[in-house]
Structure 1
Amino acid sequence: MTYSFDKDSRKGSEVSLQLSNTPTEAGSVRNMQPSRSSPRPSVDSSMDEPDWPQSWRAYACLLGCFFLMFNSWGLVNAYGTWSSYYVGHSLRNTDQLQLNLIGSTQSFLVLLLSNPVGRLLDAGYARHVIGFGSICVPLGLFLLSVVHPSDVGARANFGTIWALQGLVVGLGMAPFFVSSSQVASTWFPKRRGLAVGYVACGASIAGVVYPTMLRYLIEALDFNRAVRCVAGLTTLTCIYSFIFATPNPDHDHHAPQKWASKRTWFDTDVKTNKAFWWFTAAVAFMFFGFYPVFFNVEEWAAFHGYGTRNRAGQQPAPNGEDNAPIETFWLLTIMNGSSTVGRLILAHFSDKVGSLNMHGAAQITCSLLVLVLWPLASSESAAIAFCVVFGLFSGTVIGCPPASISNILNCTYTTSDTKHFAKKKLGHWTGMMYSFAAIPALTGPVIAGHLISKYQSYLTLQMWSGFCLFLSFVCMVLTRWYLPCEDGEMVRTKLARMIGRHLQSDREKGYKSDIGSPDRLSQAPTRVPSEMPSRQMSSEKVHQPERMA
């Protein structure tokens, strides 16, 4: 005999009503079987999945997502080498504010379009989104090599370079960034932090490959041919990503009912989610101060004499330059190489320690490094040490936001009826978070460049970046305040209990001291009935004849 546990079949059944009202989860039929109206089973299907996927497509997709990050934030991380060439050659005598505007435009477009890109990914349009970026990024670089003057001493047009490298290439990077973490996470439900960490390594490895590639190809060939070689590498990697970076077929898509609806592009569930808004503020402050370090570290090294750059224009001459100085582009390469190690550490420990906890620890460390260690770097060895240590923690800082948003989602949708939204809305919430950080990503490097040009000192850059990173850490602490701990209890509840225990301990100490006083002994209330006769009973029994006898 087969039994139906559907909601309609249980109407009027006293037995089913008793089972559904049972307080224990194991005895509840409703918790054992899904109803017809439930879109997902209440028991998490991911519990039956292996820790590592068995299909080769998962690992081919992971490499494709690695290349997506390689060609998005990897090019942003490498922009410092482009800027170092421009300031000494085709865009010499150009204000540092304008030079930083090219790189900040790229990061601005990547973050601004993250929300619509994430929503399209949730709706199942991954192939269309990645295909658009696979055309724009190589096309923008190829066109840049065409319009840039071939003569080394010729001046280039700033507007043309900004339009191609900042606007066209930036538009192509935007679909890659969110797609890299979102698509990879569909194949690794139990190792999501590990998969996102491996994908994030693409940005730091590209920050090593592209500056080194540009530096040596410019010397061996020229700038235009070097850019064509870079464009060729991006073309090959984009083709691979377009073919293999596809979501898991078993992944459920969250298609909207109406594309013109406001809720389609802005999830109203975040309106009252304080953890989401504090974390969004943390990411915004992070972009205010993070990329000014990457965009200006080479010029800072050349300004203080820790490297050489031919035809430096009207930049201040290096001071105290020795006979064999290091090339400035190596500092950016070292920083990005160390960032790879930081991202790998994130990949291995974020699922155990908690991505938000790791993010906050790395953020406060980066702020202290920029505020203290960077201004005190007065030699080449100290400059290299700063790049190594800052790069190590910066990899965790820039790679953690998608995993932290996943943590917030898991704490938001906890019931059996809403738990599936934690996976379906990952791209949407991540996109909204990054879109709000687009303006800081655009203005942060520009403000830093203006401070350098106005005060002729890189100390202003260091104070600006360090203070913004510290504010980001403060916002992360507030985010953690509104999220439950691993045992499901809020932080404020734990602190209240700890404070209450101390207060109770103090009261108990005071109470014991009062009991020790003879005057307080008769006034101390007792909750347990005393077995000794009271004074009233004793006086009554004294006047009884038998007692007197």
Structure 2
Amino acid sequence: MPEKDKNPVDISNSSTANNYIKRTSNEVDLIIENPKLDIQEESKLPPLDKGYAWVIMFACFINIVFAFGSFSAFGVFQTYYLKITFLNVPAETIAWISTLSIFFTDAGGLLAGPIIRRVGIRYTSILGTVISTIGLVLASFSTKVWQLALTQGLIFGLGCSIIVNIAYTVPALWFNKRRGFAIGTIASGGSFGSLIIVPIVTGISNSYGIGWSFRILAILFFVVTLVGGMLLKPRTEFKPVNKVIEFELLKDPVTIMICIISFFVEIGLCIPMLYFPSSLIDIGVEKDLATNLIMVFSAFSAISRILSGYLAQRISPVNIIIVSNFISGTIMMAMWYTSRSFGVYLAFYILLGMFSIQFFSLGPVMIANYYNDDKISQVNGISYMAMGLAVIVGIPSVGAIFQKYGKRRNYSQIIAITSACYLISIIFLVGLRYYTKKRKSN
């Protein structure tokens, strides 16, 4: 049970009542603030849900635009590696480039908390910018798979993980009633990033080669995320736990279920992100059109993330994710698995963009609503670590299956895997819904 439930605060005193946070499974009921602050100190703080809170949302949004938007560009790179650069290299070997990039972006977020405690939110975010940019620049000169795995994978991923963790943690300090909308809008940045980054990367790679694609991306990444980092600050003193992993949280059933859901949904989303563009090429679609259709996916997922954040203020985020994951798992088999028609594939990609990403938008909302502020960064990090483990285990295995059984042209096996991942996640989402409801009633 969370710390706040173990040590209930007496809210009969008006001063305490104004500074005590009471969270339910769906929303935050009272003002978010440090219980140690008195009313006079609270009145001196910037207001919640307005004023500089919107600057924070904007800063986190543009950071996510390039942190997660770059992954959509990596889908362009993946297609380029499979079809042009590494034609004689096994698919499972090529898969390690994206695998390490996604893994370190996910798992590396655990480092953010201890760094924030020492140098603060702003300088920690800027550190992530510098590390990520170095990774992209070095990747532009890489010509072998192991070099790209080190630069695009490890170095970029670690820097990016710090930016992502902060972008999903800081809004919880500034938003209360509009928290779901704020985090949903921030999460949509990854989709909007695709609309910006994918055309740039595609055009540059066609005209000047993949090396210059990395260099231009590095310049844009550095400038935008540096500005975003400079705008960040906590609303009041913020000291996250001074541990990479707080093992007590790993015993919490809520954390455990969130990690299991994260594991399966990450595999479920990574497969179509990495392989759907190449499957379009294999049914006769031109390479440029196949990679540019990533923007269609991104546009619908961006709109969907914002709407889901808005709905999460009225409907339980868990219920939204359950419905979305069921639709995602179903359309994998009903549309991608059974058809080779471009029209069906396009409709599938639109629906996938609308429903497959809801956990990535609303998972941070659930965590922020459930845990104390000093635990949010840690639990977000643990959740993303589970996603990183899913990438390490799942993506190379999927690459090996695609190479051995699919012969790099038959996608039926990996489609069945991604469908199963989404449907399995529903079991644990229902368990999470039941457990949190039961704990609330107790």
In which range does the TM-score fall when normalised by the shorter chain?
Answer: 0.7 to 0.9
In 1, Cα distance between the equivalents of 2:152 and 2:247?
35
Q: Percent identity?
A: 17
**1:31 paired to 2:26:** no
CA deviations on 1:151-188 (whole Å, 9 max, x unpaired) are: xxxxx321112211111111111101111111122221
Aligned-pair distance for 1:30?
6.9
Counterparts of 1:121 and 1:429 in 2: how far apart (Å)? 15
- Superposed displacement of residue 220, structure 1: 3.5
Correspondent of 1:299 among 259, 272, 278? 278
Long gaps (5+) in structure 2: 1-8, 23-29, 34-41
Name the structure 2 match of 1:225.
212
When the two chains are superposed, the root-mean-square deviation of aligned CA atoms in Å is 2.8
Counterpart CA distance in 2 for 1:88 and 1:478 is: 42
Given that residues 297 and 332 in structure 1 are in contact (C-alpha distance below 8 angstroms), is that contact kept between their aligned partners in structure 2?
A: no
Map 1:4-403 → 2, pairs under 5 A: 31-32=12-13, 44-46=30-32, 53-55=49-51, 57-121=52-116, 125-145=120-140, 147-148=141-142, 156-248=143-235, 250=236, 252-254=237-239, 256=241, 259=242, 264-270=243-249, 272-305=251-284, 307-309=285-287, 327-403=289-365
SS in structure 2 opposite 1:134?
Answer: helix
Query: Could you say what secondary structure the match of 1:114 adopts?
Result: helix
Match of 1:427 in 2: 377
Q: CA deviation at 1:454?
A: 0.6
Q: CA–CA distance in 2 between the matches of 1:332 and 1:103?
A: 16
Structure 1 length normalisation: TM-score? 0.70
1:479-518: per-residue Cα shift (whole Å, max 9, x none)?
11101279x537xxxxxxxxxxxxxxxxxxxxxxxxxxxx
Please name the residue that 1:436 is paired with. Answer: 386
2:437 is the alignment partner of 1:484: yes
Query: Are the counterparts in 2 of residues 408 and 483 from structure 1 also a CA contact under 8 Å?
Result: no
Q: 1:42 and 1:221 mapped to 2: Cα distance?
A: 54
Matches within 5 A, 1:450-465: 450-456=400-406, 457-465=410-418
CA 1:46–1:226 in structure 2 vs 1: closer, same or farther (change >3 Å)?
A: closer
- Distance in 2 of aligned mates of 1:214 and 1:484: 46
Between 1 and 2, higher relative CO (CA 8 Å, sep ≥ 6) is seen in 2
Secondary structure of residue in 2 paired with 1:197:
helix
Cα distance, 1:475–1:135 mapped onto 2, change above 3 Å:
same
Distance in 2 (CA, whole Å) between partners of 1:465 and 1:124 is 40
In structure 2, do the counterparts of structure 1 residues 41 and 339 end up closer, same or farther at CA, with 3 Å as the change threshold? closer
| CA distance in structure 2 between the partners assigned to 1:45 and 1:392 by the alignment | 32
3-state secondary structure, aligned to 2:161: helix
> Secondary structure at the residue paired with 1:483?
helix
Aligned to 1:497: none
Aligned to 1:524: none
Q: Which has the larger radius of gyration?
A: 1
Give TM-score, length-normalised by structure 2. Answer: 0.86
Greater helix content: 2
Q: Distance in 2 between matches of 1:30 and 1:397?
A: 34
CA distance in 2, matches of 1:126, 1:71: 18
Change (3 A) 1:139 1:98: same
- Whether contact under 8 Å (2:65, 2:189) holds in the other structure is yes
| 8 Å contact kept, 2:113–2:244 | no
